[in-house]
Amino acid sequence: MQSVEKIREKAGTWLGKEFNEQIRNEVRDMLENDEKKLIDAFYQDLEFGTGGLRGIMGAGTNRMNIYTLGMATQGLSNYIIKKCGNSGIRVAIAYDCRNNSRLFAETAADIFSANGFEVFLFDSLRPTPVLSFAIRQYKCQSGVVITASHNPSEYNGYKAYWNDGGQVVAPHDEGIIDEVRKINSVSQIRFDGKKDKIRIIGKETDDLFLKEVHKMSLNPYVINKFSNMGIVYTPIHGTGVRLVPDALRMFGFNNIISVPEQDVVDGNFPTVKSPNPEEPGALKMAIAKAVETGAELLMATDPDGDRLGIAVKDKKGEFILLNGNQTCLLLIWYILSQYKERNKYTGKEYIIKTIVTTDLIERIAEDYKVEYYNVLTGFKFFAELIRENEGKKIYIGGGEESYGFLPGEYVRDKDAVASCALIAEATAWSKSRGKSLYEQLLEIYVKYGFYKEKLVNIVRKGKEGADEIKAMMADYRNNPPEKINDSRVIKINDYEKQISHDIVQGTKTMIDLIKSDVLQFFLEDGSKISVRPSGTEPKIKFYFSVNTKLESADKFEATEKFLNDRIDGIIKDMRLV
């Protein structure tokens, strides 16, 4: 890390007239009163990675502000010009509910337009999948969305997309990063926007998007029968409020129950500790509303409307939260079963999951004789694969354990708008068979095996935390365990080295995926442990997957306890508690 003197010198450059008064005042206050905050704000530059920018808002090179965002946008502009020329360039911009999101979106629009681009800027907040759709609809070369997904309220971010509507991948990701790194002064940023180059878009784009979402419906007649099924939906103060209720109504559902306090668009997320549908606390108010109204299904989306969490009634009639793996496998199973029931298969269909998403999805795909792909974590790899297969194969669905799902090709990023409508339809279809969605899940487990997953996040903030996470990965890689929870490690996949090591056979084979800092340990008892640092947050993630046969639905609780005990044993043996 730089010396305190160097950091103070670096911070001092932000007192120049090229920075606005608010930024200068904030820097001056840190210089005079808060050295610790100053160090954290300036000890490094906020890195533009393969997913864009994400960080705490405020003054400083390690913060999200109009200047760090401006450098990213100017670098992206330079790359676009380099690859596509400097005429006829189009970009789209969307933003979420977070504090400063509108300011950041308008700043990006000014910079793009100053570089001669035609800009399609949404008139107000929109879910991320609508940005992906707009890029494709308006034949844009690129696009950005201003969001920090489910991060706490002090964060914001910036995700870059390419002309297929997917987040940037190789070779564009590294090319953009190189251009961004060349911007080393705010004087290089073109802030002088050309308003005549900025086109405001809104409802007309929403309508086109919803038309494509509606095409995902597989059972309209079932919905007609259960159109009054109670559905509680909360956007948790975010963008989903714009389109999820509309999508549900378009599918034919008319009893959509809101949580009024959480329909309020607010970047401070006043009713929750974290606006993350993975967190039980974020759904507490919605569950209370579902109990009060006797609803059948509860759904929540994250601030930028690309991930969903759901709650369903168990056998006792009490609401329980499903995890991302369960929601994903229910949607995959529903799509595959309905394709078969309606003779829709052409033999070219395929699905996608990530390497850390439940392997139960593979068992389902094998049963329906549908091709499946495993990709690295991140929907940009879904988009890349869909693009490669376009015209040759038909993508019909895919998702990841982190609550993201995409049911069709109309966009190239996860889409909670369509996923909410489809999970509601799957619930209605289950009702038509005399089952709840929960009972349908148990039926899947009985047929294919009970797979239980758990995610453990170890948070390590700041530079010291980043170094500790790096050391943990190095230790697992250089000193891999021979046994975990008294079960022998029989295979190790190292995605950084791109090698799969079959320890039993003593063979090594290449992994046909790009390098990524991920390790997977496969145990003799069928357990799988995946370890990777987060690409967007200061944490290291441990994914645990165990499985066994479920003899009958009546034995679910006892079998779940058995699997939970196995996971707890693994966690304890790996000294994560």
Q: Which residues of 221-258 are buried (b: 16+ CB within 10 A; e: fewer)?
A: ebbeebeebbbbbbbbbbbbbbbbbbbbebbbbeebbe
What amino acid occupies position 79?
Y
Q: What is the DSSP letter of 46?
A: P
Q: Which ranges of 226-375 does DSSP label H, i.e. alpha helix?
A: 244-251, 260-263, 284-293, 324-341, 360-367
Contacts of 237 (CB under 8 A, 6+ apart): 97, 262, 264, 265, 266, 267, 269, 270, 271, 272, 275, 303
Does residue 149 have an active-site annotation? yes
CA distance 422 to 12: 53
CB 94 within 8 A of CB 145: yes
Strand-strand pairing, 349-354 and 371-375: parallel
Where is 32: in which H helix or E strand?
helix 21-33
Strand-strand pairing, 297-301 and 308-313: antiparallel
Active-site residue identified among 77, 132, 149, 337: 149
What amino acid occupies position 276?
N
- What does the chain come to in residues? 577
Nearest to 137 by CA among 194, 204, 61: 204
CB 312 within 8 A of CB 437: yes
**Mind telling me the catalytic residues?**
149
